Amino acid sequence: MKAETVVILGGGIGGIVAANRLRKILDPRHRGDHLIVALGARFAPEEIPGLSESGLTFCTLDGAERSRDALADFRSGRILILTAAPAYKCPAAPYEAAMLIDGLLRRRGLRDETEVTVHAAEPAPMGVAGPEASAAVRSMLEAKGIAYRPEHQISRVEGKQAVFTDGAALDFDLLLYVPPIRPPAGLAGSSLVDAGGWVKVDRSTLDTAFPDVHAVGDVTLVPLLMGKPLPRAGVFAHGQAEVVARNVACRIEGKEAVRRFDGRGACFIETGMGRAGFGSGNFYAEPRPDVRMRQPSRFWHLGKVLFEKQVMWQWL
């Protein structure tokens, strides 16, 4: 068999899964005949004036640690949680954050002194998962007394005040946000990307327009019939990387590449107090994703803990 090399750009879940899977299937002695782009998406909080200066993000390690410390010192007032743009990583993140904070405040006996509110740039929570899943998440927020304002795009932050594109302003005592995302700068101007800077792929094979060049994870833009793109989440990067890795291995071994990514995914949704919900289904279903949401319970929280441990043990 001719010696060939697979080059993988990026070390997120997509790149790690692809590299590990290929290493187990193939001999390590290769040169550079296949390319897998797994560069992810970059955070761009600077696009909202004042956001990073006045708020904290829980989407990075440093930001999560600073958010933890700020919450430890919090006693009363308004906690404002924002999705800073319609496109962001992990659809569940802002809603999980709100419910986890709610649980933390309740354990500390501070919930009555605190208002927790979510202002989202999207029209409904986790709308990309379909109307049933979206309604379930909204019900979870309402049951905990978490105020929710959809379709409310942040414009700028001035000190302790958030100003929105409709002119409304909201004072806060603590601001936590999910930052906007943009394509990796290294791909700018490449013929791999579309006008927005994202890599164009076949949604089933993750092949690009160029032979032996593939892309997985957040760097891709996979449109759904409902008009939204496939969510940028680790579960999809993982599934796509498995497909690409196995198909590349087949090609190197002279076999037919038969694996296809089917758009199926799942997500645990932490709701605080040691409970979590669980949603799973087919995001490629038409005319809209077919996702079933299971009610929060300790069982699903334990499932998330075990899933995270399994991922760490298997891939890292």
Helices (H), the chain: 13-25, 51-54, 61-73, 93-107, 131-143, 234-252, 298-315
Strand partners, 164: 154
Residue 71, pLDDT score? 97
- pLDDT surpasses 80 at 32: no
Can you list the pairs that 278-283 forms with residues at least 24 positions away whose Cβ atoms lie under 8 Å?
278/303, 279/126, 279/129, 279/133, 279/136, 281/129, 281/130, 281/133, 283/128, 283/129, 283/224, 283/230, 283/231, 283/236
| Torsion angles phi and psi, residue 87, rounded to 5 | -100, 125
Q: What is the pLDDT of residues 128-186, one digit of tens each?
A: 999 999 999 999 999 999 999 999 999 999 999 999 999 999 999 999 999 999 999 88
Instruction: Answer whether 154's CB lies under 8 Å from 51's CB.
Output: yes
Q: What Cα–Cα distance (Å) separates residue 27 from each residue in 9, 116, 273? A: 19, 53, 47
Confidence of residue 100 (pLDDT cuts 50, 70, 90): very high
Residue 108, pLDDT score? 95
Q: What is the pLDDT of residues 53-94, one digit of tens each?
A: 999 999 999 999 999 999 999 999 999 999 999 989 999 999
* All domains in the chain, ordered by first residue: 6-41+183-261 (3.50.50.60), 43-181 (3.50.50.60)
Spell out the residues 6+ positions from residue 140 whose beta carbon is closer than 8 angstroms to its own.
Answer: 95, 99, 269, 271, 277, 296
Beta-sheet pairing, 114-119 with 34-37? unpaired
The two three-digit tokens of residue 86, written as one number:
């319609």
Residue 14, pLDDT score? 82
Q: Which residue in this structure is represented by tokens 């949604």?
A: 203
Helix axes 93-107, 131-143, angle to 10 degrees: 20
Q: What is the pLDDT of residues 236-266, one digit of tens each?
A: 999 999 999 999 999 888 898 889 999 999 9
Q: Tell me whether residue 121 is exposed, middle or buried, using C-beta atoms within 10 angstroms of its C-beta: 0 to 12, 13 to 18, 19 or more.
A: buried
C-alpha 50: how far from its chain's center? 23
Residue burial 85-97, b: 16+ Cβ < 10 Å; e: rest: bebbbbbbbbbbb
Q: State which amino acid sits at residue 240.
A: Q
Helix (H) or strand (E) holding 159: none
Does residue 287 have a cis bond before it (omega within 30 degrees)? yes
Residue 3, pLDDT score? 59
Mean pLDDT, all residues of the chain:
92
